[in-house]
Amino acid sequence: MNDWSVLGLQKNPIPGNPARIMRLVAQLRQEAEQAENCASRLQHIAGRSANLRMEGEYAPKFRQVLINLPRESARLGPAHRACANALSLYAEHLQQAQLEARNALSLGMGADAQYKNALRQFYSLVPVIPSAGGVWRGLNQSTALYYSQQLPAHIREIAARIGNFAAEAERDRQRAAQLARRAEQSLLEAEQRCAQAILEAVSDVRAYHYAPLVRGGDLEQRFRDSIRQLPGDKRPKPHNLETILDRLSTHPHGQEIAEIIASGRFAKSQNFGPVISAMGSGKKRLLQSSVDQIRFANDLHKRGFRDFVFDYKGGGGDVDIWVRDSPGGSVGYQLKRLNDPRNPVNEINRYLRQLKKAKEVDHKVMLVDARGTLAEWRSKGYVKLLQQVHEGTHPQVRTGKGFLFFIRLDDGVIAIPPGSSLYRGGQ
């Protein structure tokens, strides 16, 4: 019952153990409950921090840590639970895909047995030498009549019926193979959704760990030192630098952004200085755009990318981040946040021309942060419309064929086309 070669496959296309995954799910849910209990206890302690007798210079900072700690730890429980839910859903998909694959194998083996039986009958009736290279799959009415053309009419009639039967059995085998491949593709998409949901949950905790930049400390000094390493005409001006530091001291990702810049890993990347300067611009909306660029670039760096260009303008286009991927091509990322527009697809389409014009970009990716849930976007037809944009079949939009779309929503990420990787060529 395990000869997958019947379906043209070398091995089981749906390996895995749903029961082991569900044991991990149970463990994660138990840890989620423990984390939530700990967060509740920390919240209780923090609520009574005013009653603690603390004196000296350390006291205000210690009280602040006590206040912040419950907020940070409160994310652990939901993150564990989100991972558990993602894995539980994946286990269900795995179990269903395995059932579909086994049914396909059973159908395929039955059809294969019928075909081989018909082939044996044909060989016993018509003097044809069997192929030595494996099972001949070409028996049908036409070939049966061709090979039996020198035989009596009644023999030819029987041969034709055998050929018809064999052809139908072969079609059944091929349909079974298609069912197995479809189950494999469906599981691949479920696997991608699961991985993205887990990454979102983990990123949420990691992102929350970072707090606003604390002014006057070692990190600020390292930040200033790193700014000095930028080319003179690219680094922020002194008054602009102070504005940037002030804004990072109130931004929820201020410490994270300061750490990334202080590391110097992008100091030699083209146009990194202007991205930093934009955080101190009179247009305050540019602060979040720069934060998004820097955080995503850091994510790419963690996955093995090293050759970066920020705000790439090649060919009159506009790409927020250009990277060289490992196979030797390049990827252009356009990052956008949607402020809950009435029609998000139309809003996304407004930026496609910028990507299209960008030269020397082999793979063009639109990464969008939007509101709503996966179910809402599917029910309203947004996913289908973006798929049409990708395929070049949208009735109105002519720009965007071949582009990849990743929509980060409240409860997960939509990848178009399904199964695509946001990190082409990364690790």
* More confidently predicted of 388 and 411: 388
Tokens standing for residue 239: 């008054």
Sign, CA dihedral 314-317-320-321, equals negative
Q: Is 308 helix (H, G, I), strand (E, B) or coil?
A: strand
pLDDT at residue 113 above 80?
yes
Looking at every residue in the chain, the average pLDDT score rounds to 86
CB within 8 Å of 7: residues ≥ 6 apart: 104, 105, 108, 173, 176, 177, 180
* Sheet strand arrangement including 330-337: 308-312, 319-324, 330-337, 363-369, 404-409, 412-416
Rg (CA), the chain: 30
Please spell the DSSP secondary structure of 251-281, one letter per residue.
Answer: STTHHHHHHHHHHTTTTTSBTHHHHHHHTTS
Domain ranges of the chain: 4-206, 210-302, 306-427
Specify whether the backbone of 113 is left (phi greater than 0), alpha (psi in -120 to 50) or beta.
alpha
**Any bridge partners for residue 363, and if so which?**
331
| Percent of the chain scoring above 90 in pLDDT | 51
Q: How confident is the model at residue 426 (pLDDT cuts 50, 70, 90)?
A: very low
Specify whether the backbone of 398 is left (phi greater than 0), alpha (psi in -120 to 50) or beta.
alpha
The predicted structure's pLDDT at residue 49: 56
Q: Which CATH architecture group holds 4-206?
A: Up-down Bundle (1.20)
Closest CA to 278 of 268, 267, 288, 286: 286
- What is the distance between the alpha carbons of residues 373 and 82, in angstroms, rounded to a whole number? 15
Q: How many CB atoms sit inside 10 A of residue 155's CB?
A: 13
Largest Cα span, the chain: 111
* More confidently predicted of 266 and 65: 266
Specify whether the backbone of 377 is left (phi greater than 0), alpha (psi in -120 to 50) or beta.
alpha
pLDDT tens-digit map of 150-163? 999 999 999 999 99
pLDDT tens-digit map of 172-194? 999 999 999 999 999 999 998 89
